[in-house]
């Protein structure tokens, strides 16, 4: 597993971590320690976005190539891309500023060019994100324009300028795009702008935010950092200071997950940088300086009772020595010097009994 951080690239092999950092004395070390994107190609090599641009990691030699010029020539491109995207079929998509976009089909080794700044070309502006939808490529621009192109040719299929011509929206070099399983587009900018959703079947645009007027989804924060979808089709939005918002499109509902200081199994922090659903359904959540939290329904979990409601009682400590169930289904919990606790399992109510000395007696009817 690979983790990108602000202070280096981390690899976990199931036993140990290895950290890759920039070192001036080593020419093939990573160019910069800030890593915010990791993609794997068909050969198992990594394309990594750092604070100074993209670098290439040769997984066999374990060396970094920080100048992509020679590698790009292998695709038939004599320019350094500002955006790189590797799709599910391991095809490459590139954008070169002021030139246009490229798609490289790995199986057929075919290169297609989508020119910009010319008639019938890509929209004006700078591409900030590239995604794919079946046999189509999608280019998102800093002005909010969306261009859809044919993967197997140089043809532009559709251009949508809804966000670009709407004065209430603004330009952003941080625009990102997530396409869900319904083919709907979720656009966010990592700024305090909420999220825009293009429901493509009905050709309808909606904007969701933290404002009271945002319906049916009111976000916990206007700053959306990342979006993914879990195996049940629910949309996970990583927010800044708002935790994670989980949207169920079928029910039209939103559930928010936040850090709970009294619960060790809650999110480790409410500022979320990224969220990722892997191929076995585990959702991984990267937080701000609090590591990684993850969620999986298939992982067996114990519930935890901290007895937080009793913490204000003098000298109380949840050091449990004995548990017994009575005939009514109540649980009796003995502690090491802190008394006896009765838990009503139907209501959750807890009754605390402070006892000077507790002795366990076995009584026999005579």
Per-residue pLDDT reduced to its tens digit, 72-82:
999 999 999 99
Which element (helix H / strand E) includes 72?
helix 69-73
Mean pLDDT of 194-210: 95
Q: Mean pLDDT over residues 225-237, rounded?
A: 97
From 265, 267, 263, select the one nearest 241 (Cα to Cα). 267
DSSP run (H or E) holding 71 = helix 69-73
**Number of neighbouring beta carbons within 10 Å of residue 233:** 13
pLDDT of 148 > 50? The answer is yes
- Whether the predicted pLDDT of 57 surpasses 50: yes
Over residues 224-249, mean pLDDT: 97
- What is the C-alpha to C-alpha distance for residues 281 and 229, in angstroms, rounded to an integer? 10
Say how far apart CA 198 and CA 207 lie, in whole Å: 9
Q: Could you tell me the CA-to-CA distances from 27 to 21, 51, 74, 227, 283 in Å, in that order?
A: 12, 17, 22, 35, 36
The whole-model pTM stands at: 0.82
Distance CA 64, CA 61 (A): 9
Q: Identify the pLDDT of residue 27.
A: 87
Q: What's the CA angle centered on 223, arms 220 and 265, to 5 degrees?
A: 55
Neighbouring C-beta atoms of residue 253, cutoff 10 Å: 12
| Structure tokens that stand for 346 in this block | 């139907």
Residue % of the chain over a pLDDT of 90: 72
pLDDT at 318: 80
Report the alpha-carbon angle 224-31-140, nearest 5. Answer: 35
CA distance 267 to 246: 13
pLDDT at 254 over 80: yes
Q: How far apart are the first and last CA of the chain?
A: 67
Mean pLDDT, rounded, of the chain: 91
Q: Which residue has better confidence, 45 or 165?
A: 45
Judged on CB neighbours under 10 Å (0-12, 13-18, 19+), 127 is buried
């Amino acid at each position: 597993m690979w983790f990108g951080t602000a202070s280096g690239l981390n690899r976990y092999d199931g036993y140990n971590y290895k950290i890759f950092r920039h070192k001036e004395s080593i020419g093939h070390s990573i160019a910069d320690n800030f890593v915010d994107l990791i993609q794997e190609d068909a050969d198992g090599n990594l394309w990594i976005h750092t604070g100074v641009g993209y670098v290439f990691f040769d997984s066999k030699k374990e060396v970094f190539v920080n100048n992509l010029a020679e590698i790009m020539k292998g695709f038939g491109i004599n320019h350094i891309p500002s955006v790189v995207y590797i799709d599910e079929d391991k095809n490459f998509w590139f954008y070169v500023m002021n030139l246009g976009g490229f798609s490289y089909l790995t199986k057929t080794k075919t290169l297609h060019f989508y020119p910009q700044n010319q008639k019938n070309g890509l929209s004006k502006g700078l591409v900030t994100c590239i995604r794919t939808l079946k046999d189509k490529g999608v280019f998102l621009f800093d002005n909010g324009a969306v261009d859809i192109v044919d993967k197997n040719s140089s043809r532009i299929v559709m251009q949508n300028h809804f966000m670009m011509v709407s004065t209430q929206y603004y330009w952003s070099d941080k625009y990102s795009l997530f396409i869900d399983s319904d083919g709907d587009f979720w656009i966010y900018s990592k700024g305090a702008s909420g999220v825009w959703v293009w429901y493509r079947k009905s050709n309808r645009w909606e904007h969701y935010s933290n404002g009271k007027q945002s319906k049916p989804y009111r976000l916990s924060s206007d700053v959306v950092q990342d979006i993914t979808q879990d195996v049940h089709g629910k949309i996970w939005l990583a927010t800044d200071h708002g935790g994670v918002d989980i949207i169920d499109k079928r029910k039209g509902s939103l559930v928010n997950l936040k850090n709970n200081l009294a619960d060790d199994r809650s999110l480790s922090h409410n500022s979320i940088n990224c969220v990722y659903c892997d191929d076995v359904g585990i959702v991984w959540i990267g937080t701000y300086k609090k590591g990684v939290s993850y969620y999986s329904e298939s992982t067996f979990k114990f519930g935890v009772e901290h007895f937080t409601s009793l913490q204000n009682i003098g000298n109380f400590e949840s050091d449990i020595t004995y548990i017994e169930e009575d005939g009514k289904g109540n649980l009796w919990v003995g502690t090491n010097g802190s008394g006896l606790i009765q838990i009503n399992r139907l209501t959750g109510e807890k009754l605390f009994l402070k006892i000077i000395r507790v002795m366990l007696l076995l009584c026999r009817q005579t």
